[in-house]
């Protein structure tokens, strides 16, 4: 397949490198020093003791890459609106756009039906720019359970996890999802198709809504946070609130907080993407990961005091650092 990774950072770069190693025609949208290093030396993937270098097309101008069979969006959610118009040159009539982003995506209520049909979330797409740029028919939902980082420009390091869940927002099987899953499996990624991608999004969100923002406050990895009984109690409370929101939407999330925390513990000492951004002085994707849950809960009239408190504390701290708009 001809696949463009739109946002070739840690996760996108890892996926792109594996697809290229499997023989697919991969191109990358990247920028700055990372792009310069990829152009000069190729993209390096580190996996344990293994080191792979792949030569791929890379540009900060998507028009230079041409139409694709699929585009995998792996940008941070808060950067997508400013970049989304650049996707157009990558599209042909049947190009699928896979959303491998954290938090609640802008399309979450598209095709939902009933009272929530078409609900636009300010926290995910404040002015509707993303929704106008990407036709709903192109969207394939994606949820990535993978930890990676960029130790230096042009290099991505895979740390743990390899699961990639794909699904149509209309909750039906499709040939394009099967083809994408097969391509990813052939690249050594544990890709599976889901008939309820929104539920899968929420299952990942249960971890992100806790570990990402609290890591900004603590400055430590997930294992150290989970080792503290007071923080574990906080996470359990936040997860119960998020589960209540999910079930009010009819997503039937039945996992227990202890079970969800155990899943994260198995991944080892993970530094959250939000903590990585804070340490690097980059703006954080707080709205799609935490603000979206707060917004949906308020619309449904569900109390989320634990999540609200963490959201307020993190946005005040991030705003003081110049990494989030002042509340």
Residue at which a domain ends, from 135, 161, 195: 195
Domain of 121 in residue numbering reads as: 2-195
Distance CA(300)–CA(242), nearest Å, equals 12
- Does one domain contain both 138 and 176? yes
Does a structural domain hold residue 326? no
Residue 217, domain CATH: 1.10.1040.10
pLDDT at residue 118, as a whole number = 85
- 258 and 115 within one domain: no
Question: Which residue among the candidates 204, 266, 271, 326 is catalytic per the annotation?
Answer: 204
Let me know whether 23 and 104 are in one domain.
Answer: yes
Q: Quick check: is 265 in a domain?
A: yes
Residues 234 and 301 occupy one common structural domain: yes
| Number of domains present in the structure of the chain | 2
User: Is the Cα torsion angle 217, 221, 223, 224 positive or negative in sign?
Assistant: negative
pLDDT one digit per residue (tens) for the chain, 327 residues: 999 999 999 999 999 999 999 999 999 999 999 999 999 999 999 999 999 999 999 999 999 999 999 999 999 999 999 999 999 999 999 999 999 999 999 999 998 877 888 899 999 999 999 999 999 999 999 999 998 999 999 999 999 889 999 999 988 899 999 999 999 999 999 999 999 999 999 999 999 999 999 999 999 999 999 999 999 999 999 999 999 999 999 999 999 999 999 999 988 899 999 999 999 999 999 999 999 999 999 999 999 999 999 999 999 999 999 999 988
Residues 249 and 299 in one domain: yes
pLDDT of res. 242: 98
pLDDT in tens, 125-178: 999 999 999 999 999 999 999 989 999 999 999 998 899 999 999 888 999 999
Domain check: are 167 and 283 in the same one?
Answer: no
Residues 254, 168: one domain?
Answer: no
Catalytic residue list contains 256: no
Q: 170, 195, 220 — which closes off a domain?
A: 195
Return the axis-axis angle of helices 292-300 and 305-320, rounded to nearest 10°: 140
């Amino acid at each position: 397949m001809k696949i463009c990774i739109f946002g070739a950072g840690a996760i996108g770069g890892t996926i792109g490198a594996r697809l290229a190693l499997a023989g697919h025609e991969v191109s990358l949208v990247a920028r700055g020093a990372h792009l310069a290093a990829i152009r000069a030396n190729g993209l390096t993937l580190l996996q344990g003791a293994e080191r792979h270098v792949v030569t791929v097309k890379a540009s900060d101008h998507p028009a230079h890459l041409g139409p694709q069979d699929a585009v995998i969006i792996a940008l941070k959610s808060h950067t997508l609106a400013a970049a989304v118009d650049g996707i157009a040159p990558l599209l042909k009539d049947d190009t699928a756009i896979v959303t491998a982003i954290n938090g609640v995506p802008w399309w979450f209520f598209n095709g939902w039906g009933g009272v929530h049909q078409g609900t636009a979330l300010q926290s995910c797409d404040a002015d509707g720019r993303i929704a106008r740029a990407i036709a709903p028919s192109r969207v394939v939902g994606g949820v990535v359970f993978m930890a990676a980082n960029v130790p230096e420009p042009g290099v991505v390091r895979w740390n743990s996890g390899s699961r990639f869940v794909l699904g149509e927002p209309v909750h039906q099987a499709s040939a394009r999802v099967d083809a994408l899953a097969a391509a990813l499996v052939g690249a050594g990624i544990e890709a599976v198709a889901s008939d309820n991608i929104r539920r899968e999004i929420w299952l990942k969100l249960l971890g992100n809504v806790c570990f990402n923002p609290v890591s900004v406050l603590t400055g430590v990895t997930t294992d150290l946070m989970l080792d503290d009984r007071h923080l574990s109690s906080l996470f359990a409370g936040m997860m119960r609130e998020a589960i209540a929101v999910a079930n009010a939407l009819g997503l039937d999330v039945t996992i227990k907080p202890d079970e969800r925390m155990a899943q994260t513990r198995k991944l080892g000492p993970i530094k959250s993407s939000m903590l990585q951004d804070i340490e690097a002085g980059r703006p954080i994707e707080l709205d799609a990961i935490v603000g979206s849950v707060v917004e949906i809960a308020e619309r449904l009239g569900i109390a989320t005091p634990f999540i609200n408190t963490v959201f307020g504390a993190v946005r005040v701290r991030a705003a003081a650092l110049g990494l989030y708009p002042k509340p």
